[in-house]
Amino acid sequence: MPDNGLTPASGTSSGTQDFDLKAHIRGVPDFPKPGILFYDISTLLRDGPAWRGAMDRLAEIIRPYRPTLLAGIESRGFLMAAPMALELGLGFIMLRKPRKLPGATIGYDYDLEYGKDRIEMQADALRPGERVVLLDDLLATGGTMAAAIQLLRKAGAEVPAAATLIELRFLNGRARVDVPVETLATYDD
């Protein structure tokens, strides 16, 4: 059997629960602009066993929140939420930039460091009272995640938690989010 970087965890049958996720995430300096270190999950996505391990770990931390739906933030959040919804037997809804979804939409406007932005969802994407866990690939400053939570609430959802693969702890985005945030890997600088 080839070495895929996964080490079986005690008490797990899949063998995908205990591995070094950071070993499967590539840092790309000066992207998208000079001075930024971009954490690229493409290297994780193309490694089947590692991707399976990450999804297993996310499923384990999401299940206790008892969601009825999962929501993903455009676009890498879709890569987390859609397969997780399949894994958990749940529906999936997309939260997108303006004018990207067909039919009637509802939106939420929010402030960025240098301007404004908007996030939207289809008006009929959920029923009031549904428990929606929000997923994205990364928690940075927390602005988009906080806006997405407000949008889901505006639509009538209960949002018990959010989850990401990566958290850039040094940006303190968690302080802007008023629900528990579960992350698999954190970076302190």
- 57, 76, 96, 130: the catalytic one is 76
Instruction: Write the CB contacts of 50 (distance below 8 Å, at least 6 apart in sequence).
Output: 4, 5, 6, 19, 21, 24, 44
Please report which helix (H) or strand (E) contains residue 157, including its range.
Answer: none
Specify whether 76 is catalytic.
yes
Specify whether 176 is catalytic.
no
Report how far apart, in Å, the C-alpha atoms of 189 and of each of 3, 76, 170 are.
Answer: 30, 22, 6
Q: Which two tokens stand for residue 51?
A: 């991707």
- 46, 52, 74, 113: the catalytic one is 113
Query: How many residues does this entry show for the chain?
Result: 189
**Residue positions annotated with a catalytic role:** 76, 113
